[in-house]
Structure 1
């Protein structure tokens, strides 16, 4: 499919997994009715715990109960579903993975990505967060080959590491998904330019759904958006929960890559990373 509609789902997820999942099932149904071929949810979509106890109790295998429900909703709506991210249990380990899955319209889990870059920061005039205390980092770069194009997977803080997205683009990614729970402290200055930069420098579509609302230690930025390969924000939801829809046109993407062949004009023979 060379041209289709994508939906980015903005959520205010909390510690009640059942409430979050019911909301996601409703949004999947709505996205299908509005003509979307793919709906992408934000980071920690199924569960945003307020304590370590809630995190440990809410982590589950992937695939598991939550992905089973999302698979059923995908089948009923007849669309692709990107889970955002879930807490994936690691047997024998108190830590868990922050994990995304991509589900086909037939309800099959076709790709799984574990967040590579963990958010260990002290934000100026903002929160102090150390994800590595609770999460294990993934180590695999993932591209899902689908009828909707090649989808490069990432999660939130990954956005600050352009190396990941350049590798995704060089391996054939056409659509980059960035489910996030950006803090308002960093998001108000960095969210827009980072997303547009990843789209422009890699000539890819970027689909970036975010969490919104007050969380246990910070306020989430929201501003879910879709950015085209020229860096134009084609759809955006500034606040509140809901879907934002935009068109993905892979023929236009290929035309822009032909006009501005920066991926072909690279000089890896001159790059020295040492």
Structure 2
């Protein structure tokens, strides 16, 4: 389907399932594969209804953050990597690929993933699987409070993947897709970097507190859409099963926002497909090519800000590189780094 044709995008709101109770790696993997099968069935039924209701086929479906595992909690970095993190060419991606092929859609999701270049670590990875069954986009979360990121091993990560691997954009027949992970929606630089590389649709996998109030993330989703003239398709969890916290603590408000910042559809709580809407890439491209005050993307003056960013270090790079080698941190490493940053910024009079 050419990208100038309208199609439906779906933010499928389903429950994440913790692997905390799985006794070992094999049990965790079996649980994840079974859950992928369940999600595939729910997605198929949802897509059939949406296509009949709207008349536009579902070509893009977004799944919530860490759907297969929930968050790591206090499990050590190394233990969680072994038990729950996916391998780049693992059976879980093959299972997602079969769903994408069978249902002829682009399937976006989020999982923890190991990388042979960085043994002992895992990265939170947002991915897009094409109707061919191939992973066409793999984005590693860059700003995380309690987990390793590419920035923590920055010098080596750039050597391996280059900047194209840091801010990837998948150019597809349904538009140019880029991923934003979870709370990164609050950081405008991440969305802007993708937009400046051509992104038209942001797939956003999240697990967040749903509320009838305007949460920070809810506001940010609208802002990232209109300031970049891009769609945002954001899927939240419908609660988290098998963890110690109340199940519905991260539930509701999956949303589709158009490139003007208008909410096209939003879910209530619980497992549901009701956050779906038409995506009109042709209209988006026309808006980007039209001179005017509201063409915020074309009015960017990036050279103004480059010196400030280049000369100001907040969170340091390579916090997990020691003597040229990657080190596996304890869970408290990330809080210690942030404490040091705050102390330094205070000493420098910046906060």
Using the size of structure 1 for normalisation, the TM-score is: 0.86
Is the CA contact 1:150–1:174 (under 8 Å) kept in the aligned structure 2? yes
1:179: which partner in 2?
Answer: 205
Shift of 1:184: 4.9
2:15 corresponding residue in structure 1: 12
Q: How does 1:1-274 map to 2 (within 5 A)?
A: 1-2=3-4, 3-15=6-18, 16-33=31-48, 34=51, 35-48=57-70, 52=75, 56-82=82-108, 84-91=109-116, 93-118=119-144, 120=145, 131-132=146-147, 135-137=148-150, 140-184=166-210, 189-214=215-240, 215-217=243-245, 219-243=249-273, 244-257=275-288, 258=290, 259=292, 260-271=294-305, 272-273=307-308, 274=311
1:55, CA displacement in angstroms? 5.9
Structure 1: distance between partners of 2:84 and 2:301 = 47
Change in 2 beyond 3 A, CA 1:65/1:198? same
User: What CA distance in whole angstroms lies between the structure 2 residues aligned with 1:100 and 1:39?
Assistant: 13
Secondary structure class of the residue paired with 1:57: helix
Where does residue 127 of structure 1 map in the other structure?
Answer: none
1: CA distance, partners of 2:270 / 2:81: 25
Once residues 83 and 304 of structure 2 are traced to their aligned partners in structure 1, the CA distance between those partners, rounded to angstroms, is 50
Paired with 2:210 and 2:11, the residues of 1 have a C-alpha distance of 19
State the Cα deviation string for residues 1-42 of structure 1 (Å, max 9, x = none): 322111111121112424421222113323442320111111
Paired residue secondary structure (1:73): helix
Q: Quick check: 1:230–1:256 contact (8 Å CA) kept in 2?
A: no
Give 1 or 2: higher strand fraction: 1
State whether residues 139 and 168 of structure 2, in contact with CA within 8 Å, keep that contact through their aligned partners in structure 1: yes
Q: CA separation in 2, counterparts of 1:155 and 1:270?
A: 27
1:188-226 Cα distance to aligned partner (Å, 9 max, x none):
621210100000111100010011325545721431000
Cα 1:25–1:240 change in 2 (3 A) is: same
Cα distance change on mapping 1:75 and 1:231 into 2, 3 Å = same
1:216, 1:143 → 2: CA distance? 37
Q: Aligned partners of 1:116 and 1:167: how far apart in 2?
A: 12
Q: Is the 8 A contact 1:181 1:222 kept in 2?
A: no
Contact 1:95 1:136 in 2 (8 A): no
Contact 1:49 1:55 in 2 (8 A): no
Deviations 1:110-158 (A, max 9, x none): 121111111x2xxxxxxxxxx22xx444661111110011111121121
Structure 2 unaligned runs (5+)? 19-30, 52-56, 152-156, 158-165, 312-351
SS in 1 for 2:107: strand
